[in-house]
Chain A
Amino acid sequence: MKSLLAALDKQRPQYEPGGKLERLKPLFEAQDTFLFTPAERTHTAPHARDAIDMKRTMITVVVALIPAVLFGIWNAGHQYNTVNQIANTGFLADIIQGTLLVMPIIFVSYLVGGLWEVLFAVVRRHPINEGFLISGLLFPLTLPPTIPLWQVAVGISFGIVIGKEIFGGSGFNVLNPALTARAFLFFAYPVQISGDKVWTAVDSGATTIEGFTGATPLAVAAMVPPGGDVLAALHAADYGEHFTWLRLFIGNIGGSIGETSALACLIGAVILIAAGVGSWRIMLGSVLGLIAATSIMNLLPGESYKGFTQLPFYYHMVIGSFAFGTVFMATDPVSAAASTRGKWIYGFMIGFLAILIRVANPAYPEGMMLAILFMNVMAPLIDHLVVKSHIRNRANYLRKFRHA
């Protein structure tokens, strides 16, 4: 430990102002403070500070994402091996196959996104922000495992540069950078990120398992005609196993790498809430919004509206990207509402809008991404209204004492 510290201290002078590598200071600092917490002391009151810092906060989110990453790796491999009918596979083979499919995507996301982050840090002379550790991991988890790597590179570039850095970096962005990146890919290259063919890689020339269509539960549910039984359609769909609630909850189906498993997201939610990093108000608000929207839909006469309207809320919660979006995307504190009441409204509207877009809009298969981005834009307005009402409430409180 001591020799490592000494080695760092020996390097330090050349990165200080006047040193040879002065401009690369953010890079040295990132490496230095990655290994050891910084030695910086307080300059003003309060003279002592809590051990928590932004690194720790951000890493907690990464830790919360680990279940989704691991499950996504296994699931990508498992789906690939199953669909392509690869013989003699087991858990280990699934993991290996999944690693081969997923790790390059994560690697490219971190590499390209990291280059932008460092470039901006060096040019604009700000420290490398830890927020990138999250954006760089969230983004690949929202992609199908078949995504071309160049699109990963283009997408994360857009997300980091347009979604974050042009506003001034972490803490100043209006939209969630990872979702900005995904939305960009969704509208720029829809073929590789939507439809039935992208969620599980199918080898050219391989004979796929019988009955495999690649349709996601969302696609299956959306196809049910008026008067049709949406639950029956889900249960009948897919190959071998069917889209039962339990299977959708566990998430061993084709889909975006990290989004299929509501279970992994739930574990992530528990970690985020327990550590006090993610807002439980936003998560709960989103769930309540979903329940409200589905309850209204369920009241519509099933004969005249498409079968999707009749899907109960507990199915809505485990299909598509609702769970992932609610736990990891909606709770990004920078792009979410900041006031306590605002968080409830913001979360509720995300859940509500996501279902509205999902069921009522024929153009988009899933509504979560657009609901969150829309509410990101609306968050300052919500806060503005909450603050206005707070100011009225304060004025009333003060007035009460003036007459006393």
Chain B
Amino acid sequence: MASFTIKKGKDLRFDGTPEPVVQDAPTPEVVSVYPTEYTGIKFRLLVKEGDSVKRGTPLIFNKKNEAFKVVAPAAGTVQAIVYGKRRVLERIEIKSNGSADAETFPSYTADSVCSASRDDLFNLLENTGYSALIKARPFSRPATPDQKPKSIFVNGMNTAPFSPDANVLIQGNETVFQIGLNALARLTEGKVHLCLDGAKSNHAALTGAKNVDVHTFTGPHPSGNTSVHIHHIDPISPNDVVWTAKVADVILIGQLLATGQIPPTRIVLVAGSGQAEGERKYFRIAHGAPLASILRKNPKHEAVRTISGDLLSGPIISETGAIQQLQHAYTLLHEDSTRHFLGWLAPGLNRFSLSRSYLSGWLKQKSIITSGTNQNGELRAMVITGLYDRYMPMNIMTDFLIRAILARDADEMIALGLLETDPEDFALCAFACPSKMDLCGIVRKGLDQIEREGI
């Protein structure tokens, strides 16, 4: 066990903090599976409209790796198979029959999983699509069986606004969490690292987790980002593979292994200024259930943006979508195109800024951010230097890494540490950027380029 103190970064306090309360959402009548969630994978169908399925019946498989299947999240009848543009498989709708009929897979106990073979375990995860919950670094793609991860990092922190608190998720899931950890330990020849927030009093099932190395990180966001953990504990050299998962993912994997069935529900977080007050909390809901069933628009705001994941790094999704398999949080942020009169001159006490050129940068660093999606300025060329590094707690020269990516210089990107990062690590830099650059997008492009060209 090791403790790390992170100095660089900043905790941003956005309006819309959730309460640590879990509420049961209504059982959905229709569940939808979106294959597009698994970026880059092309699927073939295993079912047709009208087929009846159980919870856990495979619906589609990966064209390139037939073992990887996505399964039905509830029992019922395939109601519709919907294609999008260019006949891309967009979603599969299942009309739920309300029964608990489920396919059975091998089940394990905390002890028996420790003697299970790696192939059996990974095969089970692949056949249910649960292997996609484990991401492989670099590039953050779903884990594949041919990879030999040198270690696995489990993230139990939530410094990003808003991401689920592991201490809420773990309630009642203590045993399955440990089963999940034991399974991960079978998947690597290296170690499993569980990283927790040193500033919190964590649940005993987290701090006392067995079969793993427990570490604490204390400090402002992005101290809770997996890249930061990896960088300090077991950094990624070119050609290394490291697997990552969140506590929520490990709980799902543990539930699957413990029961031998696809878990009927999961816990997801809904927070942010766009969600009505009192409704910013955790919901127990089925995978594939309509997202709208847990979104409650804040009547104070005219328009609201739905973000899959946290406010700083998640993509925009449609509010008509469904609960995703790979995502455990949804943030609602109100749309904001307020125009401030002579904003370049006004003292700006009521506009949140990390910059000391605003009065709020001096006096209100800890105040709650109430501005919504306003970009607060227009895109400009990179001018200010050295600012990003204040929000990058890794041995990385952010300005030069970004420049190398913009110049499409793959060797330089790798040398400057791109493979150690993920787009989410640059979200705070982008928040503070006066040029309003799309740093996360630039980093994604850099990673895509290296993935395409090979290391």
Contact = CB atoms under 8 A, between A and B. Distances in A.
B412 to A, nearest CB: 8
Contacts of B234: 401
* Residue picked from A277, A334, A394, most chain B C-beta under 10 Å: A394
A256 B313 CA distance: 50
A46 interface: yes
Which 5 pairs show the lowest CB-CB distances between chains A and B? A53-B377, A171-B381, A37-B343, A36-B339, A338-B385
Given A37-B339, A38-B378, A60-B357, A45 B313 contact: yes
B353 interface: yes
A171 B377 contact: no
A287 B269 CA distance: 54
B391 to A, nearest CB: 11
B321 interface: no
B355 A276 contact: yes
A361 interface: no
A168 B415 CA distance: 28
Interface string B294-325: 00000000000101000111111000000000
Contact of B377 (A43, A54, A59, A131): A54
Given A1-B341, A40-B374, A45-B427, 14 more contacts: A34-B342, A36-B342, A41-B375, A48-B431, A49-B430, A50-B355, A53-B376, A56-B343, A56-B344, A56-B355, A56-B377, A279-B385, A390-B400, A394-B415
Given A40-B337, A60-B357, A49 B436 contact: yes
Q: What is the predominant secondary structure among interface residues of chain A facing chain B?
A: loop
A336 B374 CA distance: 31
Interface string B321-365: 000000000010101111111111100100111111110110000
Given A46-B312, A48-B369, A171 B352 contact: no
Contacts of A47: 305, 307, 311-312, 314, 316, 331, 333, 373
A38 B383 contact: no
5 contacts: A37-B377, A45-B423, A57-B434, A170-B383, A277-B384
A42 interface: yes
B386 A279 contact: yes
B235 A45 contact: no
Contact of A36 (B312, B340, B435): B340
Interface string A269-297: 00000111101000000000000000000
Contact of B335 (A41, A51, A394, A401): A41
A225 interface: no
A169 B440 contact: no
Interface in B373-402: 373-378, 380-386, 389, 395-397, 399-400
A391 B331 CA distance: 38
A172 interface: yes
B386 A39 contact: no
B434 A46 contact: no
Interface in A45-78: 45-57, 59-60
